[in-house]
């Protein structure tokens, strides 16, 4: 055990007891190194294949991979039916906890019945394999049922976070040409029902003479408020799905059948529809859930606090855990409804053993004070996970000490919407984890830290630019960007085209032990509370307002959310700013995109710093936003701009 100068322990080995019982041992690395494809074939056999595969990886059409391509399976059968057939029908799949305090325990048998009813009804609606379905729902059990019913029928789902605006929903519905939207009447938010169905109506309203592609809207009743209704188009779940037969036979689909599209922010204003397919995706989500979380079916109570609107919810609430027959907690609300004790009460109530959350929430808990967790019995917890952004060592240590009684392993898991599943993480029974480091690529995964030219960076080099690349295809990798394969190639594969590596968009370093530290995005993508938001998207929402002529947006370090959004705007000539303008503009961004994209600060400035080629120098704006001395201003057209920004910027 080593200590830092500050007297902190800087490396945390697993206890002998944990290591002895862990699912994964060090030999997993050796096995994968010796025969990578053989290793993945073994992992794929965790699943039930209606038609066994004979090929593992086909990379001939790189960068589009085909994994297990001649095999056939049904994702929903793997996540539900087989557990019932194996005699586990009475095991609870989901302990669902509603925000107002209502709860439901759903066994695997009940889940099978619900998914079957939904599959039967979606078939009755005329949906066929390959059709797209948008799911715009809060964290209710029906959202998971809807995803599994789509998967069962080979329908490609596109889950849209229920916090997104009507225009964001419309953009995604249009891009995927969805035939159906599944939603709820409303959602509980801090003790009050908030409308949701209205947002769908607004999203689907004809734009000029262009109707949306959506034929039906299927509505789950959750909050019981009155909702506007379009006869013929709108359908109540409880009148349709609930009345359908609970028996449905799952048909197999090829391993490369599209499973879902999930939109994520890129460096331009238009979100990218990340496409994932079936066999490889389920293989890697199940494999990682088993080994990284050390999950033991029938014993553990697992809780991932994500929302199904993000990839973490897809891979580590729905597909990975259910494939592994997990018993899991799904919670509808925010961590402080009705008060800050809520998460800890839930951990106690259900005896949660594995808890997976984001650094931003850990820092929020730190801010609320440790007397809150200390008032609860958290001794059931035996493993803690983190995802979404680099975790600062202070938060890591606090998490381990306060949640983990200073003994549970913490897995800091690096991955992305595009990677589909965890890529870089400690193995909890093997790795001596360091606070803040994602440590090593998992067995079967290969990553490098390289410079601009693709040369490996020196160990321990911290200041030089190091970029994280993935140099070998992996089973759950994205198969493209929906409708835009050119963008797929240019975004991820152009930078290191010669070497054929995937460019992740993250900076990274290797320490002198060769352990990997992810340092954050190197592109114009911000990370706010673990959510990816592009600067361009926020800029275009601001410029959409009649009083804004130009906008530049940067992510500035924030003690709780990781980054906070700071905008600099130039007003149109006709606008005289008043006290309410900044609030109006913040509200505009919230409305156009989502409350998560709302700027923390908006500065009204007379000019923006630009290079001679007209590019906004975000780096300098970030210096201002973070209150630093300005970096190199030599390439600026007019360095005097800064005085103007500083004095006009408050």
- List residues binding ligand WT7 (CB under 6 A): 264, 311-312, 387-390, 412-417, 438, 504-506, 518, 520-521, 527, 530, 532
Could you tell me the smallest distance in angstroms from the CB atom of residue 130 to ligand WT7? 25
User: Using an 8 Å Cβ cutoff, are 439 and 412 in contact?
Assistant: yes
Could you tell me the smallest distance in angstroms from the CB atom of residue 231 to ligand WT7? 38
| DSSP run (H or E) holding 587 | helix 581-592
Tokens of 430: 């093997």
Q: Which is nearer to ligand WT7, 217 or 504 (CB)?
A: 504
Could you tell me the smallest distance in angstroms from the CB atom of residue 614 to ligand WT7? 28
Could you tell me the smallest distance in angstroms from the CB atom of residue 468 to ligand WT7? 8
Q: Which is nearer to ligand WT7, 524 or 588 (CB)?
A: 524
Q: Which is nearer to ligand WT7, 337 or 563 (CB)?
A: 563
Tokens of 599: 């700027």
Q: Which is nearer to ligand WT7, 81 or 389 (CB)?
A: 389
Q: Got the DSSP string for 60-99?
A: TTTTS-EESTT-EE-HHIIIIIHHIIIIITTSEEEEEE-T
DSSP 645: H
Q: Which residues are annotated as a binding site for CoA?
A: 189-192, 312, 336, 529
User: Using an 8 Å Cβ cutoff, are 527 and 389 in contact?
Assistant: yes
Integer Cα distance of 585 and 583 in angstroms = 5
What is the edge-to-edge ordering of all strands in the sheet holding 301-304?
A: 103-107, 92-97, 327-331, 301-304, 354-357, 383-386, 410-412
Q: Which residues are annotated as a binding site?
A: 189-192, 312, 336, 388-390, 412-417, 506, 521, 529, 532, 543, 545, 548
Strand partners, 424: 414, 441
320: nearest Cα among 272, 274, 385, 271 = 385
Strands 301-304 and 516-521, by their bridges, are unpaired
Could you tell me the smallest distance in angstroms from the CB atom of residue 283 to ligand WT7? 18
Could you tell me the smallest distance in angstroms from the CB atom of residue 274 to ligand WT7? 8
Q: Which is nearer to ligand WT7, 506 or 623 (CB)?
A: 506
Q: Which is nearer to ligand WT7, 67 or 263 (CB)?
A: 263
Q: Which is nearer to ligand WT7, 294 or 412 (CB)?
A: 412
Could you tell me the smallest distance in angstroms from the CB atom of residue 158 to ligand WT7? 15
Q: Which is nearer to ligand WT7, 328 or 417 (CB)?
A: 417
Mapping DSSP to helix (H, G, I), strand (E, B) and coil, where does residue 623 land?
helix
Mapping DSSP to helix (H, G, I), strand (E, B) and coil, where does residue 217 land?
strand
CA 74, 482, 316, 590 dihedral sign is negative
How many other CB atoms sit within 10 Å of the CB of residue 213?
16
**What is the number of helices (H) and of strands (E) in the chain?**
22, 30
Could you tell me the smallest distance in angstroms from the CB atom of residue 456 to ligand WT7? 20
Q: Which residues are annotated as a binding site for Mg(2+)?
A: 543, 545, 548
Could you tell me the smallest distance in angstroms from the CB atom of residue 424 to ligand WT7? 8
Strands 525-528 and 92-97, by their bridges, are unpaired
Q: Which is nearer to ligand WT7, 250 or 597 (CB)?
A: 597
User: Using an 8 Å Cβ cutoff, are 134 and 181 in contact?
Assistant: yes
How many other CB atoms sit within 10 Å of the CB of residue 208?
5
Q: Which is nearer to ligand WT7, 110 or 506 (CB)?
A: 506
Q: Which is nearer to ligand WT7, 99 or 307 (CB)?
A: 307
User: Using an 8 Å Cβ cutoff, are 321 and 330 in contact?
Assistant: no
Integer Cα distance of 371 and 374 in angstroms = 5
Q: Got the DSSP string for 255-308?
A: TTSEEEEEEE--SSSSPEEEEEESHHHHHHHHHHHHHHS---TTT-EEEE---T
Q: Got the DSSP string for 126-179?
A: T--TT-EEEEE--S-HHHHHHHHHHHHHTPEEEE--TTS-HHHHHHHHHHHT-S
Q: Which residues are annotated as a binding site for ATP?
A: 388-390, 412-417, 506, 521, 532
Strand partners, 253: 73
How many other CB atoms sit within 10 Å of the CB of residue 2?
9
Could you tell me the smallest distance in angstroms from the CB atom of residue 388 to ligand WT7? 5
Could you tell me the smallest distance in angstroms from the CB atom of residue 579 to ligand WT7? 35
Could you tell me the smallest distance in angstroms from the CB atom of residue 437 to ligand WT7? 9
In the complex, residue closest to ligand WT7 by CB = 417
DSSP 613: T
Could you tell me the smallest distance in angstroms from the CB atom of residue 285 to ligand WT7? 12
Rounded (10°) CA dihedral 462, 464, 467, 472: -80
Q: Which is nearer to ligand WT7, 454 or 520 (CB)?
A: 520
Task: Please report how the helices 166-176 and 197-204 are oriented relative to each other, as an axis angle in degrees rounded to 10.
Answer: 60
Integer Cα distance of 73 and 479 in angstroms = 18
Q: Which is nearer to ligand WT7, 434 or 521 (CB)?
A: 521
Strand partners, 503: 469
H-type alpha helices, 10-80: 16-21, 27-34, 36-44, 75-76
């Amino acid at each position: 055990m080593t200590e830092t100068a500050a007297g902190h322990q800087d490396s945390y080995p697993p206890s002998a007891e944990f290591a002895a019982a862990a699912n994964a041992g060090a030999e997993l690395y050796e096995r994968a190194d010796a025969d990578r494809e053989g290793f993945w074939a073994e992992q794929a056999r965790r699943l039930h294949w209606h038609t066994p595969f004979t090929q593992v990886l086909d990379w001939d059409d790189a960068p589009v991979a085909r994994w297990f391509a001649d095999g056939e399976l049904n994702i929903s059968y793997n996540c539900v039916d087989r557990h019932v057939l194996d005699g586990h029908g009475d095991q609870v799949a989901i302990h669902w906890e509603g925000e107002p305090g209502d709860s439901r325990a759903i066994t695997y048998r009940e889940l099978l019945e619900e998914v079957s009813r939904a599959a039967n009804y979606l078939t009755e609606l005329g949906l066929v394999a390959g059709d797209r379905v948008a799911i715009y729902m809060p964290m209710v059990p029906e959202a998971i049922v809807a995803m599994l019913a789509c998967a069962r029928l080979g329908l490609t789902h596109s889950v849209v976070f229920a916090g997104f605006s009507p225009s964001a929903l419309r953009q995604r519905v249009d891009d995927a040409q969805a035939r159906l939207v599944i939603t709820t009447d409303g959602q509980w938010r801090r003790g009050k029902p908030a409308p949701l169905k209205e947002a769908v109506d607004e999203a689907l309203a004809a734009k000029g003479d262009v109707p949306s592609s959506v034929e039906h809207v299927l509505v789950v009743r959750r909050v019981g408020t009155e909702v506007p209704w379009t006869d013929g188009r709108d359908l109540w779940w409880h009148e349709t799905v609930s009345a359908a037969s609970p028996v449905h036979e799952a048909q197999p689909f090829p391993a490369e059948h599209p499973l879902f599209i999930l939109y994520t922010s890129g460096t331009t204003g238009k979100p990218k529809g990340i496409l994932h397919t079936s066999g490889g995706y389920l293989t890697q989500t199940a494999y990682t859930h088993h080994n990284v979380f050390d999950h033991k079916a029938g014993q553990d109570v697992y809780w991932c606090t994500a929302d199904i609107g993000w990839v973490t919810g897809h891979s580590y609430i729905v597909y990975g855990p259910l494939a592994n027959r997990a018993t899991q907690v799904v919670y509808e609300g925010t961590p402080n409804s009705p008060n800050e004790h809520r998460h800890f009460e839930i951990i106690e109530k259900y005896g949660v053993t594995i808890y997976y959350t984001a650094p931003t929430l850990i820092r929020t808990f730190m801010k609320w004070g440790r007397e809150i967790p200390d008032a609860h019995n958290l001794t059931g917890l035996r493993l803690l996970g983190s995802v979404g952004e680099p975790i600062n060592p202070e938060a890591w240590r606090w998490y381990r000490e306060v949640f983990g009684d200073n003994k549970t392993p913490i897995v800091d898991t690096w991955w992305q919407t595009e990677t589909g599943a965890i890529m870089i993480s400690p193995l909890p029974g093997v790795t001596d984890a360091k606070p803040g480091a994602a440590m090593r690529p998992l067995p079967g995964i290969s990553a490098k830290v390289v410079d601009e030219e693709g040369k490996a960076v020196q160990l321990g080099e911290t200041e030089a630019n190091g970029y994280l690349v993935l140099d070998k295809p992996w089973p759950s990798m994205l198969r493209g960007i929906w409708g835009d394969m050119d963008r797929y190639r240019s975004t991820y594969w152009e930078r290191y085209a010669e070497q054929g590596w995937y460019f992740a968009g993250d900076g990274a370093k290797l320490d002198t032990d060769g352990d990997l530290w992810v340092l954050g995005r190197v592109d114009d993508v911000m990370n706010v509370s673990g959510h990816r938001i592009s600067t361009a998207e926020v800029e275009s929402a601001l410029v959409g307002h009649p009083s804004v002529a130009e906008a530049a947006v940067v992510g500035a370090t924030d003690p709780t959310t990781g980054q906070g959004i700071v905008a600099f705007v130039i007003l149109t000539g006709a606008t005289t700013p008043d006290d309410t303008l900044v609030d109006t503009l913040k509200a505009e961004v919230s409305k156009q995109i989502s409350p998560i994209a709302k700027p923390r600060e908006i500065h009204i400035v007379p000019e923006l710093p630009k290079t001679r080629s007209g590019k906004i120098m975000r780096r300098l704006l970030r210096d201002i936003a973070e209150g630093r001395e300005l970096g190199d201003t030599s390439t600026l057209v007019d360095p005097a701009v800064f005085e103007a920004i500083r004095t006009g910027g408050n």
